[in-house]
Structure 1
Amino acid sequence: MPQEVEVRRVEEPEPLAFEQSTIFQGDALSVLRRLPAASIRCAMTSPPYWGLRDYGVETQIGLEETMPQFINRLVAVFREVHRVLTPDGTLWLNIGDGFTSGNRGYRAADKKNPARAMGVRPDTPDGLKPKDLLGIPWRLAFALQDDGWYLRTDIVWNKPNAMPESVKDRPNRSHEFLFMFTKSEKYLYNAEAVKERSETGGLRNRRSVWNVRTRPYAGAHFATFPPELVRPCVLASSGRGDFVLDPFFGSGTVGEVAQSEGRRYVGVEINPAYVELARKRLNAAETRIVRVAA
């Protein structure tokens, strides 16, 4: 007898609307797919770095077995960011780098910041050698460029107070990259709002090396954005009342800066503990929290 075929109706998830600053607790890709198209003017974020930290949440990004898997998952997330941006919208993306483990399957304990330590490290990626720099920022930047983004500039975030390293066979790394992507060839960029002081005391167009000291948020035990790294991005790429998106919201630095500059924000964060940190940090009366099932 022929096998009976099950027929059932699968409902599309309801769109997630927002009219005020909102934190969505849920997986970044799942939430972004339900946000309205062309609803966000500016996005600013720093996704989890590959193989660096275990946030203790299932489906988290950053613990993929291979580097291509990590890159591909981020490309999928930022494809949805591209969709929800307005045609003149901008994405500012900070991403850190690392070195191959030499197939060492463990990571030494981090006494200064235990939250950074993990029990395992990914294997050396195919094509790389022990002690190679991974090159993740540029690999991701080129993958996003191939996916349709306009890669407008790279910015060197120089950290004057960078943590020392114990290495003796290379310079200590004291910088990360911040990339500026746009959805279209023409986009909002308010150069006047982000001019900087020149050596002679006058104002000049902002340059591509930003000296910004790291500044931990007292309520968090993990790395956070310095507000002064976020502020120029928000001022250059949005206006008062616009929505600023951070799909990896963490403790809410992007939301705090957006709020202080008269913008609204949309944050997506998978870890409920970090959502609670952000709620305490931001004005609860102005923030709506929505828990989204996967």
Structure 2
Amino acid sequence: MDTLFDLDEAPATDPFDPSVSRPYDLLRHDDGADYAATVTGGGSAVVCGDAERVLAAMPAGCVRAVVTSPPYWGHRDYADPAQIGHEETVFDYIERLADLFEGVRRVLADDGSLWLNIGDSYTSGGRRTRMADRNNAARTIDFRPDTPEGMKPKDLIGVPWMLAFALRERGWYLRTEVVWNKPNGQPESVRDRPTRSHEYLFLLTKSEKYFYDVDAITGPNGRRNRSIWDINTVPLAESHDAAFPPELVYTCLSHSSERGDLVLDPFLGSGTTAMVAGSMARRFFGIELNPEYVSIITRRLAGRAAA
């Protein structure tokens, strides 16, 4: 299928304006924190640390667009005791994320936007482990949470909408949901329901009026972008298996940011948001808890800079 954006073909740019603060210099250090940072250029920074703490050290209103995907509940083990996604209940998970996104809303500009990708889960039916899926090894995890209160074994939980409604209650404007359809999605070892091949992406804003370039991406005859996006997943040679496809990030940033804007991803993972933002002449600030993933990000960014 045709793609709107190919990261391999995009230019590696560093849109540093000397009159604009370097992203890492925005951090407040008066709390004594020593943030481990990989500064990959004047317009970019990646910080290894806890997202909630790093967000608290950023100035209010400095970010124009956020594109991110938090760890899903009960899906993967990212091998860190502070990780999100291993909470005992889905309600604890939603509460923890809603608290964290309070910090995201604080650093977002009044006319800024958040694009939030989140996956769903099924109740465990009382099983405490998930065996390796022969069709998708990334789904292996050494625990499964109990079936949430009020739900039955094998229920689809509805995690994306639980989080979207929780954020709306916290003051976010829930503008739309986008269905990310994955034509090449991994099969599931299930025989009593269709294989799920989509995820949700929510557009949330800080204010009633906000920046949105409706004509940034159009189809034939000027048809404006619809709410179902057909975008293939893109495997990475390195170990982070939950990577964003570059085209997904490109679409979000095309609508919600302009050249030179600061883009944030508080769950940077393998660094795709940073790489796409840089190729679009946006500054970026990424936060990642796991040092191993920061190493992957650093190598990917260095590879693009050298290309």
TM-score, with length taken from structure 1: 0.88
Mapped partners of 1:30, 1:231: distance in 2: 28
Q: Which residue of 2 aligns with 1:183?
A: 206
For 2:174, the aligned partner's letter is L
Candidates 103, 120, 126, aligned match of 2:126: 103
Mapped partners of 1:261, 1:26: distance in 2: 26
The CA RMSD over aligned residues, in Å, is 1.9
Q: Which residue of 2 aligns with 1:274?
A: 293
Q: What is the CA-CA distance between 1:115 and the residue it aligns to?
A: 4.2
Query: Percent identity, aligned pairs only?
Result: 54
- Equivalent positions of 1:175-254 (< 5 A) are 175-195=198-218, 197=219, 201-254=220-273
Could you tell me whether the CA contact under 8 Å between 2:271 and 2:297 is conserved in 1?
Answer: yes
1:59 aligns with 2:82: yes
Mapped partners of 1:13, 1:132: distance in 2: 46
- Equivalent positions of 1:66-85 (< 5 A) are 66-85=89-108
Q: What is the CA-CA distance between 1:122 and the residue it aligns to?
A: 0.3
Could you give the per-residue CA deviations for residues 50-108 of structure 1, whole angstroms, max 9, x where no partner exists?
Answer: 01111101210000001111001100111100000010000000000010000111111
How many residue pairs end up in the alignment? 272
For 1:90, the aligned partner's letter is S
Could you give the per-residue CA deviations for residues 15-74 of structure 1, whole angstroms, max 9, x where no partner exists?
Answer: 989963111100111111111110000000000000111110121000000111100110
1:132 aligns with 2:164: no
Assess, with a 3 A threshold, how the Cα gap between structure 1 residues 14 and 104 changes in structure 2: closer, same or farther.
closer
Could you tell me whether the CA contact under 8 Å between 1:15 and 1:35 is conserved in 2?
Answer: no
TM-score, with length taken from structure 2: 0.84
Q: Which residue of 2 aligns with 1:36?
A: 59
Assess, with a 3 A threshold, how the Cα gap between structure 1 residues 13 and 146 changes in structure 2: closer, same or farther.
farther
Q: What is the CA-CA distance between 1:13 and the residue it aligns to?
A: 4.7
Q: Which residue of 2 aligns with 1:8?
A: none
Could you tell me whether the CA contact under 8 Å between 1:49 and 1:62 is conserved in 2?
Answer: yes
For 2:203, the aligned partner's letter is M
Mapped partners of 2:303, 2:58: distance in 1: 22
Q: Which residue of 2 aligns with 1:144?
A: 167
Could you tell me whether the CA contact under 8 Å between 2:136 and 2:188 is conserved in 1?
Answer: no
For 2:89, the aligned partner's letter is T
Mapped partners of 1:71, 1:192: distance in 2: 34
For 1:76, the aligned partner's letter is D
Q: Which has the larger radius of gyration?
A: 1
Structure 1 unaligned residues grouped into runs of 5+: 1-10, 287-294
Q: Which residue of 1 aligns with 2:188?
A: 165
> Which secondary structure does the structure 1 equivalent of 2:109 belong to?
strand
Structure 2 unaligned residues grouped into runs of 5+: 1-29
Could you give the per-residue CA deviations for residues 161-201 of structure 1, whole angstroms, max 9, x where no partner exists?
Answer: 11112222111111000000000001000112122x2xxx3
Assess, with a 3 A threshold, how the Cα gap between structure 1 residues 41 and 221 changes in structure 2: closer, same or farther.
closer
Q: What is the CA-CA distance between 1:212 and the residue it aligns to?
A: 0.3
Q: What is the CA-CA distance between 1:110 and the residue it aligns to?
A: 3.0
Mapped partners of 2:192, 2:134: distance in 1: 22
Mapped partners of 2:32, 2:107: distance in 1: 17
Instruction: Identify which range, 204-213 or 275-284, moves more after superposition.
Output: 275-284
1:255 aligns with 2:257: no
